[in-house]
Every structure is written in structure tokens, then in C-alpha cells.
Chains A and B, each alone.
Chain A
């Protein structure tokens, strides 16, 4: 066998990516504006879910605080619109990304970069507490609308063009989702992604290689916060509102559920998770007989999937081998360099 570390995995993921992309591209063409607005909200939540997947699915950071970065950026976007009258997308997007990046870095610095290696539980409770505290803080802060939240009266603008919720807004958000997905995919398939794959399996082993594991975690946590911040800022303009619930443990838990339901460690799974959960919720909440019970039914469905299918929806579709991938050199050339002949060369310097 020509060993190169690049055994070709099945291409199910690639096919699925293409199918989902085609599906997302045609949504506004085949549905009403109302449903396009619902779908836009799903795309925004998909970005939040991807940010969770980067943490838990790739880096072993159990975070219950992704909504914090989403919400903080959403509030900053609302303040820029309401207090400063600034709604240009060219400024809003980088500012919200920066807000997400800085806020997640600060939380990550506190939780991950201490002298002692933090446990999963410590980080989970730390992020949960931060999210809860932030929710309580804004709920009591009149300047940002307290418990009523903040309405965003102006539309986001591209130059003089106003981005109203609808098909155009949908495609703009889809563009951002694709960019966030490609950037994340590039990272997790790079040599850095190999470090993350190793970290997820055995942190201690990596530390003994000389990897400063917690710094890698802080890096991914900050990057994920940046994506959450991007989605939060755009969400505030799309919904025309941001409130304490958008940065609390409720939405943070939903981000976890989107990931687990769709399948973590795949990037695509969280997108499917958002689509599935939000669609089920939408349908159930529209059936009169089920209106009082739909959250319970949804909860039971999610419980069953998470308990009996830990790899989520994606686990039904792709193998572990394809999900994890391979990281070897793909250039072909001389895959057997140092092959059988080199067995005789036992000088011991690997």
C-alpha cells in the first residue's frame, strides 16, 4: 500500500455541503418573504451553533456562554444604531466581530489560562455563570433598556441601500455564514486542526509533546466568540431588537442543543441541528392542539437524540473517520520516501 497518511475518505461530507448550499440558495426563491425571514433567523443561529461546535466539537471546551458574546455584540450594534446613528454594515460587522473576540478572549483568559489546568466542569460552570451574570446585568440596566431590551429602529445599510429583512438580507447573512463556515473549516482541517483533534482525544499526551494546550483552547474560544459576535450584531438588526434573553443561559443552552442534535465536530451538524430544531419548533407551535405542549415535545425529542445518538444527525450520515479527517500531505509525489529501505536505517533520530 502506498502509505501517505492521506487515505481518501468517503466524500459524503462534501456532497452534503453542496446539497445544503444549493438548498440554502434556493430558499428565498421558493418560499414567501415571511418564511425567508424565519430562515434568515436560522442562518444567524447556525453561526452561533458553529461557534459552539468549534469549542466543544473540536477543542473539548464545554461552553454554556456562547450567547454572552452573541448578546454583547448585539447590544453594541443596537447602541451604535440608537445612540450614535451608525448603521453601515462595513463598520457594524468588524466592530461586532471585535466585540465578540475581545469579550471571549477575556472570559477565556480568566477560565483557561490560569496556573492550573481547568476541568471541563469548571469551564462549563464558568461560562454558564458569566452568561447568567451578563443577562442579569443588562436586565437591570436602564441605559440599555433593562428587562425590556432595546429596539433597533433603523435598518442596517450598505452605502445608502437599506437592508430590510427579506430575500436580500437573507443572502447577505448566507454570505457571512459561508465565510464563517469556510474559515472554520480551513482551521479545523489545517495542521492546527490536527492539534485540536489530538487535544480532544488526550490533552495530557499533547502537553508532553510540548503543546501549550490551554493557549490553543483560548485561541479557538476567542475565534468562536468572534463568530458569535458577528451573528449577534447581525441578529440585532434583523430582529430589530435585542434583549437580555439574547445573552443568557437560555440561548446558550440552545447553542449546545443545536450542536448535539446535529452532531458536533462536523461544523455541518450544528447547521442541520438549527434547521431541524427550529423547523420542528415552528411546526409544533403552529398546531393549535399542541400549542401548550410543543416545548415539552421538542424537549423530549432532543433528549432522545442526545441520549441515544450522541453523534447527532451527522452520526447517521458520516463515519467517524470522515468526520475527523486526515491531515497528511496531499501533494502525492513520493509517498514512500523513507519506505521499506529505510527500515535498515535505525539511527534513532526520528
Chain B
């Protein structure tokens, strides 16, 4: 059974039709890339899946349940996790507290008030930081990290939720080539545990780590297939050679 099924999803902002009946299917434990020119609807689709925007039409089924009108918090509790395009780490909190905040998200209020899990979560927080090479920066404010490190921190935060599907909006945006390579190395092992949809402009990066690609253009699916199929697609070549 597919993990995510997007069927005929549309979204309009005023007179702008951002999505015009998009279909996307994501299987468990696969990395699915969303590519397309600027303004093609990639981020809008990702936000519709995460619940940041509600789709005007169509349906979104996740893990066998219709989540089309579900609030983001409820989608998150069902296993959807999002990393925003613009880094959304909490700049005034320490790196450690950012991760702790993500870890404790589904705990009851009374437990939070009594700080019952603070001690037990400590090793997990440190392990998550170490995994993303941030353990030495745990006490620093998130705002003091480099842009690339903030991106890693946000991915680490998204992973604390143990998601079934991780949505990454431009995870390597603003990174150096070395940081992009390191990010790819950090993401690949995650496939054992969850699926991922990645919106990314760096085609080399996305070809290296994704199993399937969906190409969007003007809010519609231009093509869909394996990386090899998309590379061979004349429709896609035309868009990328004439407009990107």
C-alpha cells in the first residue's frame, strides 16, 4: 500500500492557480524528489501535504487515512514531519533546547509541567545532536549556528518525531558543496526508517539520493518516474533547457 496518495490536489491564491490537479504517490521507505522550475508549485504541494495550506480540491491520503482537512498538529501526530524552506529553528533557544522541544512534542501537559521526561530524554537529545555533528554546539543559541548547521538542526528536529514521511523543502539551500555532500550522507541512512519527499533545486543532489522524481510545471505534473526515466524524458529536458 502506498504511504502517501495525492489525488487531484488543487490550490489557488487569488487569481494565481498554484496547483491544478496534482497526483503524486509515495511508497514507504523511498526518497521521492519534487523538481520543477521556480513557481511550478513544489513548495505549495509540500505545504498542502503537511497541512500548512488546505487544498481547495482533491484528496490527500496518508498511511491509509484521509488527511486532506486535518490540522498540521494532527498530521504530525500521525507521522508527517516537515522541514521548512526558510529555516525555522528557534533562534533564541539553545541548540539543545530546540531538539528537546521536538522530542517532547507528544507528551501530556501535566508531564511537561512536572518536567518528568527531561532527564530521560537527555541521552536521546545528545545522540540526535551527535548524529548531525552538533553535539559540540549544544549550549550555543541556534541563532549562532551557520546556515548549513541550522538546516541540519531542523532536519534533526524533524527526525525526532520518528516520522513515517519526512518532507524536506530545499534541505541544502544556501549550503556549500561540502555541506551538501555531508547532508546527503546524513540523509541516506534514514531510508531504512521513513520515506521522504524532497524539494530541491540542486539536481545532482536529488539524483544522487532519490528513487523517484515528480516534475512539476505550472502547478501540474509534467512527468513522473525513476531518476533514469526522468533523465531520459524529452518533456522534462525541454522545460529545463528552455526555462530553468
Contacts and interface: CB of A to CB of B under 8 A. Distances in A.
Interface of A: 1, 3-7, 187, 190-192, 194-195, 197-198, 201-202, 204-213, 215-216, 219, 320-321, 324, 326-329, 331, 333-343, 345-350
A205 B90 contact: yes
A339 B128 CA distance: 9
Contact of B73 (A5, A210, A346): A210
Contacts, number: 202
A195 B52 CA distance: 20
B112 A5 contact: no
23 contacts: A3-B135, A5-B96, A190-B115, A194-B101, A197-B90, A197-B93, A204-B52, A207-B72, A208-B72, A213-B73, A321-B141, A328-B118, A328-B125, A337-B126, A337-B127, A338-B129, A340-B135, A343-B130, A346-B185, A346-B189, A347-B189, A348-B159, A348-B193
B76 A327 contact: no
Contact of A349 (B81, B100, B162): B162
A66 to B, nearest CB: 22
Contact of A326 (B94, B99, B136): B94
Contacts of A210: 73-74, 76-77, 105-106, 161
Nearest to A5: B96
Contacts of B135: 3, 336, 338-340, 342-343
Contact of B94 (A5, A190, A207): A5
A191 B97 CA distance: 10
A30 to B, nearest CB: 38
B119 A329 contact: yes
Q: Point out which of A190, A204, A338, A345 has the most chain B C-beta atoms below 10 A from its C-beta.
A: A338
Given A3-B136, A3-B137, A349-B162, A324 B93 contact: yes
Contacts of A346: 131, 185-186, 189
A1 B113 contact: no
B126 A198 contact: no
B151 to A, nearest CB: 14
B72 A326 contact: no
A343 to B, nearest CB: 5
A349 B124 CA distance: 10
Given A339-B130, A343-B130, A349-B193, A4 B159 contact: no
A338 B118 contact: no
Contact of A328 (B72, B122, B123): B122
A350 B105 contact: no
A3 B112 contact: no
Nearest to B82: A208
B131 A343 contact: yes
Contacts of A190: 112-115
Contacts of B159: 348-350
Given A192-B112, A205-B88, A3 B101 contact: no
Q: Point out which of A202, A329, A342, A350 has the most chain B C-beta atoms below 10 A from its C-beta.
A: A350
B209 interface: no
Given A1-B136, A338-B123, A347 B193 contact: yes
Nearest to A321: B141
A167 B89 CA distance: 50
B156 interface: yes
Nearest to B116: A191
B104 interface: yes
Q: Point out which of A207, A210, A326, A345 has the most chain B C-beta atoms below 10 A from its C-beta.
A: A210
B156 A350 contact: yes
B50 interface: yes
Contacts of A324: 92-93
B62 to A, nearest CB: 14
Contacts of B101: 194-195, 198, 206, 209
A326 B92 CA distance: 10
B97 A329 contact: no
A193 to B, nearest CB: 9
Contacts of B113: 187, 190-192
A187 B135 CA distance: 27
Contacts of B114: 190
A349 B106 CA distance: 17
Given A7-B94, A197-B92, A350 B131 contact: yes
A37 B90 CA distance: 44
Q: Which 4 A-B pairs have the closest CB atoms?
A: A5-B96, A338-B127, A3-B138, A348-B190
A329 B72 CA distance: 29
Contact of B97 (A207, A326, A338, A350): A326
B195 to A, nearest CB: 12
Given A201-B92, A328-B118, 10 more contacts: A3-B135, A3-B139, A5-B94, A7-B139, A206-B101, A215-B109, A328-B100, A347-B192, A348-B187, A350-B162
